[in-house]
Chain A
Amino acid sequence: MLRFLLAAGLLAVCAPGWAGKIEPLSARLAAGEDAYVLSAEFEIDLGSHFEDAVSRGVPLYFVLELEITRNRWYWYNEHIAGRSVHYRLAYIPLTRQYRLSSGGTLHQNFASLGDALRVMGRVAALPVADKSVLKTGETYQVALRLALDRQQLPKPLQVDAIANRDWQVEPGVSRWQFIPAGSTAAAVPEREPK
C-alpha cells in the first residue's frame, strides 16, 4: 500500500504538463450610448491538466470581474461600480462539442476548445456602468480580472490544485486609470506586478 502511495505521489508530481495562464492582451473602457462599455481580449491557456479535464467532461468555471474604484487618501478606495460575468465551459461528449455558457443564459457551441476559449477571451461592448455614475474629468482606477473559479472545481481536483503547480491557471489581471472625458479613454493594459 505504501509503495502504491509512493508511486501515486511520484506520478502526480512527475506527470508531464504545464501550468495554465491567462494573459490580458488589451482592455479598454469606452463611453457607449448610455453606459460605459468594456472591450477586452485575453489569451487563455488552460494548461495541460485542465485541458485534459475539460476534454473529459469536467466543467470549468471562469469569472470575469471588473471593478472601478476611486482613490481616497484617508480610507479604502471607494467602490464606484463593478461587473462580473460568470462563464461555464464544458465539453459535451455526446455531441462532441464544447459549450460555453455565459451569465447563465447565453449558450454557444464550439467544435474545438480553441474556438470556445477565444470567444470567452474576447469581451466586446460589455456595459459596466451607467454614464451618470462616473464623473467627467475624475480619475478612476479600473481593475479587470479573468480567472478560473477554483471553488467550483470538484473537490479532489481542488486538492490537486493546492498541491500541484501544474493544476493552476494564473489569472489575467489588468489595471489602468480611467478618466472619463466624454470621449473614449483607453490605457495600455499592464500586467499585475508579481
Chain B
Amino acid sequence: MRILAIVAAAIGVILLFLLASASANTALFVNSYPLLLGLNAAVVLALLVLVVVQLRTMWREYRQRVFGSRLKSRLLLMLALMAVLPGAVVYGVSLQFAMNSIESWFDVRVDSALEGGLNLGRNVLDRQLAELTEKARGMALDLSDAGDSKVVRATQLNRLREQAGAQTATLLSGSGQVVASSSVDTERLLPDLPSAVQLRQARQGRGLSQVEGDATAGLTLRVLVPVTGSALTMEMRVLQVTQPVPPAIAKSAASVEAAYRDYQELSLGRAGLKRIYSLTLTLTLLLALFAAIALAFFLAKRLAAPLLILAEGTQAVAAGDFTPRAALETHDEMGVLTQSFNRMTRQLDDARQETERHRGQVEAARAYLESVLANLSAGVLAFDRNFVLRATNRGASAILEADLDALEGVLLADWTGHASLIEAIREGFAGVDLQGPAGREWQRQIDIKPGEGATQVLLLRGSTLPEAGGGGYVVVFDDITQLIAAQRSAAWGEVAQRLAHEIKNPLTPIQLSAERLQQKLTDRLDADGRAMLYRATRTIVNQVEAMKTMVNDFRDYARTPPAQLRPLDLNALVLEVLGLYESSRATVATELATDLPRVTGDAAQLRQVIHNLLTNAEEAAEDLLSPIIRPEILIVTRRDGKGVVLGVSDNGSGFPARILAHAFEPYVTTKDTGSGLGLAIVKKIVDEHHGEVRISNRKPRGAEVSIRLPLAA
C-alpha cells in the first residue's frame, strides 16, 4: 500500500513535469501530449481509488471504535486540511492568473492596431501598384504607336522602362511568347513570365496588377496591360512590367503580417490555451491533493503509532499485564517515551515480583508459626487491646474442650462459660499497663471444670504484646493436672517407701512381744484373764499383720520394677485373667475384638492391671446388695486409631464425685477395706506403658475404666 502510493506519487510527479514541459511548446512532446494527459488522469484516478479505500478502512475502524482510530482520523483530518487548503488557494490563484493573462493578450486596441497596420501595408502596396499600372499604361500607349520593327521595339521598351523606373518590362504576344524584353539586371535575360491564367485575364480585361511573393521572399509588383496594335491585323499584345517592393517597406509589411498571423493564431487557440492551462493546473492540483491525503494517512498512522503503543501499554498494565511492548527504535521523544515506558513496566513487574516474594515469605513464616502454635500442647489465646479474641490454637480448644474458633472476634466479657478463666485473665491483666514496657508477665494457677470431666488445673501465663505489632495481650496456659498427679504419685511413692521402712521395722518386735506375752502369761492368769489376754494378743497380732500387709502394699507400689515391654496379645491376657473369676458372683461378659493388633506391654504388669480392674468392678458390683439388679461386668477390647482400648465397666454405684478427681491417687478408696492403691497402681503401670487411663460414670448407673495402650511397633 505504502509502496504503491509512493510509486503513484513519483509517477505523477514525472508525468506532471512532462505535461508542463509539453505545455511549454516543446516540439518533443507534441505527439505525446494526449498520452501524457491520459496517463496523468490515470494516476489521478489510481490515487483517488487509493484515498477512497483508505478512507473506507478508516471509517469502518472509526465505526467499530477500534482503539486508536479516533486519534488517527483526527491527525488525518488535520494533515489533509494542511494540504488541501493551501493547494486549493494556489490552484485558484494560478488558474485565475493564467486565464486573466491569456485574456489580457487579446485587446480590441491591439486587434485594431494590427488590422490598421495591415491596412496601411495594403494601401502602400496598392499605391505603388497603381503607380506602376499608370506607368505601364503609358508605356503600352507608347508601344502601340511604335513601329513593328524588332530593334525599334527593343530600344523603345528599354527607354520606356528606364523612364518608368521599373525593374523589368516584357512585351508578350497574345499566346504568351516574349516579343521584347528589357531588364535592369542584364544578366537575367528572361524575366518571370505570367501564367496562362494571368495572361488571359490581362487580355480580356483592362489588364492585371498584383503583388506577388510573400514577405520573407520579397514582394514583387507585377502589372500586365494589353497593348493595342496599330494595324487591325496585328494581334493583341501584352506588356508586363515588374518592380520589387522597396526592402524597407517589404520588411515592415512582413513584420506587420507576422504579428497579425501570430495574433490570429493565438486568438484562434485561445480556448485551447485556456484548456491546456486549466487541465494542467487541475491535474496538478488533484495529483498533489490525493498524494497529500494518501501521505497524510501514513503520516497519521506513523504519528499515532507510538501513542497507541503507550495507550495499549497503559491499558495492559492496568489489567496487570507487564509484558514489554514493542518499543520504537528511534531517537526522538516518542522513541524515548516508549522506551521509558517499557523500562517503567519492567520495574513495576520487578517490584510486583518482589512483593509477591515477600508476601510468600511472610505467608510461609505465618504458616510455620501457626503450625508451631497448632502443634503446641499448651493453649494460646491472643487478645487485642480491647480484649477481643484475635487468635487461638488447637491446644486451647483441646484443653478447654470448647470450640474457641467460634469465639474469635468476641469480647472476653461476652464469653459464655469459662468463668474462672475469664476472671483469672481479667485479674491477671488488671494491674498491667499497656503503655508500660512490653513483656510484663504474670502467672497464676486456676482450677476449671470443663464439661462433664474432672477438674483440671491450669497454669496461666499472661503477657502484653509489643506495641509495634498492634499491642494486645496473650495468654498461654497448660493443663498441669497430669503433672500435679505425677508429682503427687512420686511423692506418695517416697512416702510409702519411707513409711514401709519406718513402720515395718517396729512391727515384728511388736508381734513377737505380743506372742511372748501370751505365751508367758497364759499359765499365770485365770480363765477370764486368759480369755482377755488371748483377745488382746490376737488383736495385736492381727493388726500388726494387717499393718504389715499394708506396708508391703505400699512398698510394692513404690517399688514396681521397670516394665519389660514386648509385643503381646491383649485378648489372650484378658482371657487368662478371667479364668480366675469363673466363680465370681457377678456375670462377666466379654466383647473382644477379633482382629485386635498386638500391643506393647509387660505381660505381668498388665495382668496386674486387669486383675485390679476386675477386682474393683467385682467389688463395686457386689456392693449393690440389691436383689433386683444382678451384678454385671463387661470387658471390651477394640482398636482405636493408633492404639487399643481395654474397657472394664460395671453396673455398680459408680464413683462418687469427690473421688473422681483423685481416683488415681494412693489411699483414695470407696471401700471400707483396701489400701486404695488399686487404681493408683493401674495408673502407674499404664503411665509406664505410655498409655492413658480414663474413668467415668455410666448412665443410668455404674462406672467404666478404659485403658488405651499403644500398638506394637
Closest to A155 in B: B25
Name the distance in Å between A105's Cβ and chain B's nearest Cβ: 11
Chain B residues with CB below 8 A from A12, complex form? 271, 275
Contact code string B265-287 (vs A, CB < 8 Å = 1, else 0): 11111111111101000000000
Q: List 28 A-B contacts (CB under 8 A).
A: A1-B99, A5-B274, A5-B278, A12-B271, A53-B264, A56-B265, A57-B260, A57-B261, A58-B264, A92-B214, A92-B257, A93-B118, A93-B261, A94-B122, A94-B211, A94-B219, A94-B257, A96-B122, A107-B217, A154-B268, A154-B269, A155-B23, A155-B272, A156-B273, A157-B265, A158-B30, A159-B33, A159-B275
Check A160 against B31 for contact (C-beta < 8 Å): no
- Check if B125 is an interface residue, CB within 8 A of chain A: yes
A2 to B268, CA, bound (A): 21
Most buried by A among B211, B273, B275: B275
A41 to B283, CA, bound (A): 45
Contact code string A2-14 (vs B, CB < 8 Å = 1, else 0): 0011001101100
Bin the interface of chain B by size.
35 or more
Check A156 against B269 for contact (C-beta < 8 Å): yes
Name the distance in Å between B663's Cβ and chain A's nearest Cβ: 125
Name the distance in Å between B247's Cβ and chain A's nearest Cβ: 15
Chain B residues with CB below 8 A from A8, complex form? 271, 274
Most buried by A among B96, B260, B269, B274: B269
Chain B residues with CB below 8 A from A58, complex form? 261, 264-265, 268
- Check if B438 is an interface residue, CB within 8 A of chain A: no
Name the distance in Å between B31's Cβ and chain A's nearest Cβ: 7
Which of B's residues lie within 8 Å of A, judged by CB? 23, 25, 30-31, 33-34, 95-96, 99, 118, 121-122, 125, 210-215, 217, 219, 253, 256-257, 260-261, 264-276, 278
Check A93 against B278 for contact (C-beta < 8 Å): no
- Check if A185 is an interface residue, CB within 8 A of chain B: no
A90 to B213, CA, bound (A): 12
Check A159 against B214 for contact (C-beta < 8 Å): no
Chain A residues with CB below 8 A from B211, complex form? 94-95, 97
Check A157 against B260 for contact (C-beta < 8 Å): no
A4 to B271, CA, bound (A): 11
User: Which of B212, B265, B278 interacts with A109 by CB under 8 Å?
Assistant: B212
If the complex has contacts A94-B121, A154-B265, are A160 and B214 also in contact, measured as CB distance less than 8 A? no
Chain B residues with CB below 8 A from A59, complex form? 261
A156 to B276, CA, bound (A): 8
Beyond A5-B274, A95-B211, A109-B212, 18 extra complex contacts between A and B, CB < 8 Å: A12-B271, A53-B264, A53-B268, A56-B265, A57-B260, A58-B261, A58-B268, A59-B261, A92-B214, A93-B118, A94-B219, A94-B253, A95-B210, A96-B122, A97-B211, A154-B268, A156-B265, A159-B33
8 A Cβ contacts from A134-178 to B: 151, 154-160, 162-163
Chain B residues with CB below 8 A from A155, complex form? 23, 25, 30, 269, 272-273, 276
A93 to B256, CA, bound (A): 10
Check B272 against A57 for contact (C-beta < 8 Å): no
Check A95 against B212 for contact (C-beta < 8 Å): yes
- Check if A28 is an interface residue, CB within 8 A of chain B: no
Name the distance in Å between B556's Cβ and chain A's nearest Cβ: 138
Check B278 against A159 for contact (C-beta < 8 Å): no
Chain A residues with CB below 8 A from B270, complex form? 156
Closest to B96 in A: A1
